Structure 1
Amino acid sequence: MNDPMPASHVTCVGDIAFADAACLLSAHGLQLHHVAAGESIPGSYWGEPEAGIIASNVYVRDDTPVHSMLHEACHLIVLPPERRAQVHTDATDSVPEEDATCYLQIVLAGQLPGVGSDRLMADMDAWGYTYRLGSTRAWFEQDAEDAKAWLIERGLPVA
């Protein structure tokens, strides 16, 4: 993918086509909601501008990082429907689910026009995600076998 944005810029929802993001999440049974600038984001665990989740709904503003939107959406995607329906703000405290969520957000970024997996991993590093091998890419390529296996066991996408 050609990346017209400087490396220091983290890709935000306002940088991509909202309809593309909504379509991607819809394919996984989620509804994406646009929150107006300056409004509070419902269900945001970390606070603005981070994405929020409530049941099968993902809430974002234009200044929400795409990695946050995908991360929170993937928290919902990895849950069985009965658990998803109970989520409000905080999806899990499970390390395997967190790892699967991180892996899946990278995979789904590859399906999102204007983003791509490479850009998302760079944004994750810039935002402060930390992995024992030093970068998101190193984790994804060399240390995420357990996360990938977790997703495969549940019939979730890994490529």
Structure 2
Amino acid sequence: MAHGLRPVGLDFTETAPLRLVFAAHAAAAPGEVYRALAAEVEAWPQWFRAVTWARPVEREGRAGREVLLRGGGRFLETVIAAEPVTRYAYRTDETNAPGLRALLEDWLLIPTGSGTIVRWTVAVDAPAPVRLALGLARPGLGHAFRGAVRSLDRRLAEARRRAG
């Protein structure tokens, strides 16, 4: 059964009881990565294996997303930062994942001479057992994230080749 989560702002990435931070390099430029994150929401399942379905939605006059994960997790989200080329962040407003009180994901795009450093921060408020379980899942989440960035980078390179 779905339940509502506490609304949080970007500062939650600094104050959350649990912060999971991952980084990976992409050869693609920050603008390409940003477009894939923010404008091509429905394509997420093509490069992020954990995502089985995603679509943009409007939430109380603001951009949002509805996302389904492998295993049945459902997340209804509100975009709280859409800064072209640099940042894309969203909070979860409603989910069927048990135990969560607040959840925010922040994708920061850092340009480099050879592409983009993609930094993904997952900020969570949940009871101690849930935080412990997520902490134990950190290696798997990191692996999934790095695989997703590699897959996205290949997808973007192929799109450049087709356009070129």
Fold equivalence (TM over 0.5):
no
Higher RCO structure, 1 or 2 (CA under 8 Å, sep 6+): 2
- In our comparison, the structure showing a higher alpha carbon Rg is 2
What TM-score comes out, normalization by structure 2 length?
0.33
What TM-score comes out, normalization by structure 1 length?
0.34
Q: Which has the higher helix share?
A: 1
Q: Which has the higher strand share?
A: 2
